[in-house]
Structure 1
Amino acid sequence: MISYLDAGESHGNSLCAIIDGIPAGLEIDESFINHLLCLRQSGYGRGGRQKIEKDKIEILSGVRFGKTIGSPITLKIKNNDYENWQDIMAPFATYTNRKQITKPRPGHVDLAGYLKYNRNDLRDCLERSSARQTAIRVAVGAICELCLKEAGVEFYNFVSAIGKVKANVNYANLDEIKNSANNELFCPDKNALYEMKKTIDKAIENSDSLGGVAEVLISGAVAGIGSYKWDKKLDARLALATMSVQAIKAVSIGDGIENAFKYSSEVQDEIYYDFNSKEYRRYTNRLGGIEGGISNGENIVIKAFMKPIPTTRKGLRSIDVKTKETSVSVYERSDVCATSAASVVVRAAVAYEILNAYLEKFGGDCMSEFKRNVENYKEYLKTK
């Protein structure tokens, strides 16, 4: 099992994480981690913060000569904007003209956090809950991916909807999905991409924001990961991981949401045996690669439904928590649409859960042991 703890505020000195449990001997590719960090900062409709921050990972412990050594791995990402916020965010800031934020944004954690933690300044809540936190989470997920890649598991993130514009996605064409990372919204449908950008432009004109559907496809996961025991169900764990990402308000495994409105004959993935690969396969993949909480060997597909970002330039009706008078929510520098970035974050979040499920089943204190156990299991499956 692996675990991690992350820390840091949006405009604080840095974002940090400590990961424990990664097997020894894993080769760490810094360029891959930084590539995913760059993808997280990409996307049409992103805000001005991305022009300031150029996220780059710094590894402080747990890696020697480019490989993990079995001890906790410490990660750090510097916040470049901190130099403009030191008087506000330094741990022992002493300036006296501090302007408190007292007008909460509907849809954000501002008011709920203010009540829960008994703070006088909403910034104490919004700094930690900011999506800026996801930068370090992507770095953690990247290391999980590097480990799973050694076991033949690959991750792809993309966008299938922005607002009311939906893409036509061919889930069987992995090259098309993979290449979508090269366009401005990670959308595999070029016609939908054009309409999505127009929709975002309209939101900008109206000082509004947009959500969408961010997806992750996982290929190469073996059948038998997870359990039908309620707290070990793979789809439940992936749903938890996905819902923990900022602004995600619903999740679907495969066509889960659409399946609720169909007959069983239109939903279930019928089975055949592939004598060449010696595998049980499905003619379709409407259930997204998981049945009864256990992976079935098909691609795992996760759809994350992201609400529009709560921060808008025109503001929304709110109150001042000090005076209780009706007011308009404050504007914090923000994105207009961040669904493309959310797809990268969801990818990281589910990579962590997939690796934990793999380590639960196969164990291994070092990569050679882990990989040997996975390969032995794959050979076993061919005998069934």
Structure 2
Amino acid sequence: MSNFRFLTSGESHGQCLTAIVEGIPAGLKIDIEAINRDLARRQQGYGRGGRMKIETDKADVVSGVRFGETMGDPVTLRVVNRDWQNWTDRMSVFGPEFGDKVTAVRPGHADLIGVLKYNRNDARDILERASARETAARVAVGGLCKEFLKACGIEVVSHVTKIGGIAVDEANIDRSKIGCGDSELNCYDPEAEEKMKAKIQEAMKAGDTLGGVFEVIVRGAPLGLGSHIQWDKRLDGKLAWAMMAIQAIKGVEIGAGFQCGELPGSQIHDEMFLDKDNKVYRKTNRAGGLEGGMTNGEEICIKACMKPIPTLMQPLNSVDIGSKTEVSACKERSDCCAVSAASVVGEAMVAVVITEAVLDKFGGDAMVDLLSSMNNYKNRVQGGL
């Protein structure tokens, strides 16, 4: 097992978000601008709220990197919250209590369960950490992992496939171009994107919110990452766990996903063929690049469904934990639709899982050793048979 792991800390309106990443080998060159581009992508998107006009996220590397290269010790990443200056009293670390308590908890959020579990009387103690603002730290970690994967010849990209019931037409999408576009919704079907925007506008006018579906694609992963040996080593399980750990994600599917429960095996399983050099190839990828808990050399394709954001400008009925009365839920500054942002977070979490799988398989305290091991393995399995 590799010693790769990471932790994040920080609150939505606190001073900063921080992540510590352990296990990245020494000698990896870091492009901080690439990490910051992902942070910017997380903030963009049609339907985002007022917070995005305040924050301009950038990651500071405060340890683990010297002269642009990792040294083998933990890497610390920090994303400063610019909005902190407006919250210094309400989010004071040691100062006196200030401001009204949040007691009108929101359906669909961690508010009520959190205050009961942690014995708090102010939902702000819960919502600050439960907020999707925390994903900025995860995107910074994912950006670091994407730099590692890039050095290994692996790429992680994403695109939005559905918002508010409006779905892309796969026939209109050139999958080889995914990751190269400049779309407000990270959508590669222009016709569907315009319909999605119209749907978002309708929801905004109604004070409502919308969810949707996005797909994350991994290109260049070698076959054999993960294992069938134990349940907790299966890579598809780890990927599903990582995606479900993103705020508001309620469903995950790999490859053909839920279609597998509708179609016969003859229309699901990817048949194998031999080319002129006796190498195995497939004409389809309904397995989504994973068989038996392991990568099979095809693109890894994983989709996630995001529920509508629980903060509505026309609040739902709820209860006040202070007065014990029925009230309208509280309103925090929020988005109408953040599926495009979630797709960037999805990239980050998939990059984290694939990074761990690569380190677990090939090891090495230095990049030169890891890459040597990886190349030797690829040469061994290249023939397929």
* TM-score, normalized by the shorter chain, greater than 0.5: yes
Distance 2:23 2:173 in 1: 34
Letter in 2 for 1:234: L
Superposition RMSD in Å: 1.3
Distance 1:213 1:272 in 2: 33
Q: Which residue number corresponds to residue 75 of structure 2?
A: 73
Query: Deviation at 1:169?
Result: 2.8
Q: Structure 1's 295 and 131: CA in aligned 2 closer, same or farther, altered over 3 A?
A: same
1:351 equivalent to 2:351? Answer: yes
Query: Deviation at 1:369?
Result: 0.6
| Structural mapping, 1:291-330, within 5 Å | 291-330=291-330
Distance 2:220 2:234 in 1: 19
Q: Which residue number corresponds to residue 52 of structure 1?
A: 54
Distance 1:258 1:139 in 2: 34
Distance 1:334 1:56 in 2: 21
Distance 2:105 2:170 in 1: 38
1:330-367, Cα deviation, whole Å (9 max, x unpaired): 11000000000000001101111101111111111110
1:368 equivalent to 2:377? Answer: no
SS in 2 for 1:19: strand
Query: Deviation at 1:215?
Result: 1.1
Query: Deviation at 1:241?
Result: 0.3
SS in 2 for 1:15: strand
Greater shift, 23-32 or 263-272, is seen at 263-272
1:296-348, Cα deviation, whole Å (9 max, x unpaired): 00000010100000000010010111122111101100000000000000110
SS in 2 for 1:209: coil
Distance 2:5 2:276 in 1: 39
SS in 2 for 1:218: strand
Distance 1:56 1:117 in 2: 32
Query: Deviation at 1:262?
Result: 1.1
Greater shift, 113-122 or 266-275, is seen at 266-275
Letter in 1 for 2:26: A
SS in 1 for 2:170: coil
1:380 equivalent to 2:380? Answer: yes
CA contact (8 A) 1:141 1:349 kept: yes
| Structural mapping, 1:250-265, within 5 Å | 250-265=251-266
Distance 1:109 1:275 in 2: 57
Q: Which residue number corresponds to residue 283 of structure 1?
A: 283
Query: Deviation at 1:273?
Result: 2.6
| Structural mapping, 1:119-198, within 5 Å | 119-169=120-170, 173-180=174-181, 182-198=182-198
Letter in 2 for 1:94: P
1:342 equivalent to 2:342? Answer: yes
Greater shift, 241-250 or 316-325, is seen at 316-325
SS in 2 for 1:239: helix
Q: Which residue number corresponds to residue 270 of structure 2?
A: 269
CA contact (8 A) 1:281 1:298 kept: no
Q: Which residue number corresponds to residue 242 of structure 1?
A: 243
CA contact (8 A) 1:309 1:337 kept: yes
Q: Which runs of 5+ in 1 are unaligned?
A: none
Q: Structure 1's 274 and 40: CA in aligned 2 closer, same or farther, altered over 3 A?
A: farther
CA contact (8 A) 2:173 2:188 kept: no
Query: Deviation at 1:214?
Result: 1.5
Q: Which residue number corresponds to residue 93 of structure 1?
A: 95
Distance 1:132 1:329 in 2: 20
Letter in 1 for 2:237: A
Runs of 4+ in 1 over 3 A off after TM superposition: 170-175
1:201-253, Cα deviation, whole Å (9 max, x unpaired): 00001100000001100010111111112110000000000000000001001
